Each structure stands twice: as C-alpha cells, then as structure tokens.
Amino acid sequence: MQETTANQVAANATSSFTEHLQRQRPDLLPFGQLPFGQQPSAQQFPAGNAATPLQAPHGTTIVALTYAGGVLMAGDRRATMGNVIASRHIEKVFPADQYSVLGIAGTAGIALDITRLFQVELEHYEKIEGTLLSLDGKANRLGAMVRSNLPMAMQGLAVVPLFAGFDRPAGMGRLFSYDVTGGRYEEQEHHTVGSGSMFARGALKKLWRPNLPERDAVSVAVEALYDAADDDSATGGPDPVRQLWPVVYVVNRTGAFRVPERELAAMAGAIIESRAVAQREA
Amino acid sequence: MTQQFYVSPEQLMKDRADFARKGIARGRSVVVVSCRDGIALVAENPSPSLHKIGEIYDKIAFAAVGKYNEFESLRQAGVRYADVRGYSYDREDVTARGLASVYAQSLGAVFTAEQKPFEVELAVAEVGSSPDEDHLYRLTFDGSIADEKGFIVMGGQADKVSEAVAAGWQGALDFAGAIRLALAGLVADKETTTLPPSAVEVAVLDRGSESSRGTRRAFRRLEDADITALLAEEN
C-alpha cells in the first residue's frame, strides 16, 4: 500500500507542461486531440491529398547564425497560401525564454501554437523546479513536440522549427535544426529553414565569417533574407512602403533581445542602396 | 467490535482547527508588503533552496507557512492552474482572485473530507499598475479567504510581527523600506535585533517590470548580495 502511494506520487510529479496537458487536457494540445498514448489514425484527418491540398498559411524563411558574442535568428514577414500572400506582417521568430529563441517554418497556425506551448513549457519547468532547463534539455523538448505533430505532418501540415540559444555553462551560442520526425541536429556556424532556405544559405556561405561583430552579424542575416526574397516568391523582402523589416533576435550572455526596428530599417536601406548602386542583376 | 464514540460536529471542527493552528504557529513568519514599487515578500527561511515564496504567473506570487510538503503541492497545483488557464485563454486572464478561489476550495475540501487538515496558511499576491490595484489574499487551513489591504503576516508569532509591521507601514514605501520594515517585523518576537540576509528569503513583484526589465514576469528573487545592496541604500 505504502509503495503504491509513493509510486503514484512519483508518477504524477511532472515538471512538463505538455505532459500535464496530455494527461488532463489533451484537447488543448496543438497536435492530436486524443488522450495520452493514443495515436490518431489517417482517417481522422482526411483533409489533404495530392489532388486538393489543404489550404493553410505557410511561414517561410528563417536564418540563424553564430557571431562573436552568441547567436542570432532572423525571419522574413511573409506567410503564403498557395500563390496568395496570406500575411505581410506575420512574425516567425520568438523568444522561447530568457536565453533562447525559436523560428518556425511550415504551417503557420500549428507552428504558432507549438511556439506558445514551447514558451509555456520552459516557463512552467522554471517555476516548478526553480531552475532553468539546460539548453540541450530545451532542444530535446522541442524535438518531442515536433515529433508529436508527425501525424499532421503526414497530412501536409508540417512544422519545422529552428532553435538557437546561449549555453551558459559552455559560454557560447548554439544552433539546432529539426526534421519533421522530431530529429534534432546541432548545426555549426549557420543554418536556414523554409522555402527560401536554399538561397539564404547560399548567401550566408559567402557573407558569414567567424567571430562577426554583433552589428555585422545582424546585417548579414538581413542580407541573406534579402537574397532569399529575391529568388523565392514565398519569402518577403524588406518593405520600405509599409515599413516592414525582418524580425531579428540576438541571444548572448545577457539574454535574448529583439533588434529595434530603427536599426533594421537603416540596415535594410543600406543593402537596398548598395544593390541599386551596383546596377547588377544579382 | 469497537464502539465508535459520538463526537459532535462542532467539537470535530474545533479539534481539526486547533490541530492546524498549532502546526502553523510552530513555524517561522512570512511577511507580504504592498508598497510603491510593488509587492515585497519576505520569509524567515535559512534554506536557500526550499522556498516558501514562489512565482505563480506574470503578476502573481505565492507565499506560505506550515508544512513544506503540503504547501509545495499547493504551489505546484497553482502553477499548473495558472499556466493551463493562461495557455487556453490569454495571459491577462489569469488573476489572483481566480487562483485564490481555487485554493480556498481545495483547502476547504481537505479540511472537511480528509483525515487531517492541511497545516498551512497561504498568501496570494497580485501586483497591479498602481498600489490601489494590488491584491493580497490570505487563505487559511479551513478554506477561509480574506482580502487584505497593505500587508499580510502569517505563521509563527503572527500577532507580534503583525503589530510591528502595522506600526511602520505606509503606502509610499519603496522596496528597501518595505523589506526593512518586514525584517524589523520578523525580529519582533526574538531576542536579536537584526536578521542576516542568509537567514531570510526575499522576493519582489516589480510594479514596472515591463519598463525596467523588459519582461511581463514581475517576480524576482533577491539573492543575499541583492538584499545587502538594497538595504545599504540611503535610509
């Protein structure tokens, strides 16, 4: 009797918000509305097939790179639905907690909910345990969430995040990419996800160099997004008409901070000007 | 077969209440003070890791006296309640009033239905945009709930401590003043006249956390060095 009570208490002690929701309120989870342990079958999501793909807004390009003091992440402001621009203002890079950020590409609705869940997950752990989760721990939790979304991904509603944070014990910024099955891969130097990622990656290969100062690193990220927008119709470039600039977060020893619009406007302006002056095709 | 003695409901409740009161009075006091800068929570607690004060949500903090295992389970339940509510509705829909009423119901249910009542007393504090909008709720072991103004003192020799805090409390205090006042209150039932920072646990709910620290989360735990620095400020 004593032992079963102890076992029960131990089994119910969880510091994970997602686990708590799976047990108590599975309906609130962004993926799968089924009680803990049950996997949804394909018949329950008849929405998409090759002939009539489900139309939902998709987020596009995210770039992340390391620099001298840590790591930074930038995302364009466009969401597309087929050939239509669904949103010009969407933000796809978010602070996950004090020392980490995540960017999302893929089905925007699910991705935004996963982001929100991930933010609460980290804060919940911090409040219950009284200490921050390690950076690897955070990266693993995000991988588990992406994996939970696999049934939806099979229906064409995939979410692919990029995760970056400052590893305080190691004293450096680190980058993690994911595949739709939740596979987690640590990336070196820089990485990109989303439809324009190929072009952004090409740009980063030429622009990135080790130990970039913070300001130059932000400029490199904005220019990589500019190149992605140049060749990928689903990626939005800087928009001087509506005064829309990419969302950029830097993460260093002191925390995660959003780069102010004013600075981004100046950097994007300088890039546009330098390209215009050069009068070249690309 | 043993004969069950008849015990009147009045006697039963009185016994349970006396039992809980005794348990709570054995511990050390906690003081929660609302002031100009926000809300200061000060507990006499020599352990740097077993907290009596905790963060529940953006603007809401928790303080408790009594049995650690009992109030710790209530604190965790409160964090879960607040996070689920904030996740399913919106962050601003999580209020101290909602949380306090859930606590009151749980404590009330335990008091009447369980073998033994919880030997705890809780304070739920919510910082508002001005001192008038601060909320301080006191929850006792039987599920009673009280909306307090200005400050709350719980546990230990609460009467003596409360007297000392009431004498010095005013709404215009800053954090240094509020923490000084709380510390002066905590030594009211002792021989000594000062408590070292290592013997107390201090946390604050910043009224202006958005402007001063750029975060919605108003709760901030003060380390020993922070307390020393804050108290060293000009009187």
Q: Does A132 touch chain B (CB under 8 A)?
A: no
**Cβ-based contacts under 8 A for chains A and B:** 33
Query: Which long-range CB contacts under 8 A does A252-261 form with residues at least 24 apart?
Result: A252/A69, A252/A70, A252/A166, A252/A173, A252/A214, A253/A69, A253/A70, A253/A166, A253/A168, A253/A171, A255/A98, A255/A99, A255/A166, A256/A95, A256/A96, A256/A97, A256/A98, A256/A99, A256/A100, A256/A101, A256/A165, A256/A166, A258/A95, A259/A218
Contact A123 B83 (CB under 8 A): yes
Residue A36: predicted pLDDT: 47
- Per-residue model confidence as pLDDT tens digits over B17-31: 999 888 888 888 999
Does position A240 have pLDDT exceeding 60, yes or no?
yes
**Mean pLDDT of all residues in B179-185:** 90
Give the pLDDT of residue A262: 93
Contact A120 B49 (CB under 8 A): no
> How would residue A156 be classed by pLDDT, with cut points 50, 70 and 90?
confident
pLDDT tens-digit series, residues A95-153: 999 999 999 999 999 999 999 999 999 999 999 998 999 999 999 999 999 998 888 88
Q: What digits encode the pLDDT tens for the residues A193-224?
A: 999 999 999 999 999 999 999 999 999 999 99
How far does A238 lie from chain B, in Å, by closest CA?
26
How high is the pLDDT of residue A12? 77
User: With an 8 Å Cβ cutoff, are A130 and B86 in contact?
Assistant: no
According to the model, what pLDDT value does residue A30 have? 86
pLDDT digits (tens, 9 = 90+) for A1-47: 456 777 777 777 788 999 888 888 888 888 865 544 555 555 555 55
Tell me whether residues B87 and A127 touch, CB distance under 8 A.
no
- When pLDDT is averaged across residues A229-254 and rounded to a whole number, the result is 92
Q: What is the pLDDT of residue B123?
A: 94
Give A 19-78 residues with CB within 8 A of chain B.
20-21, 24-25, 28
| Percent of chain A predicted with pLDDT > 70 | 91
Which pLDDT score, from 0 to 100, does residue A44 have? 53
Q: What is the pLDDT of residue A153?
A: 85
A221 touches chain B (CB under 8 A): no
pLDDT at A90: 92
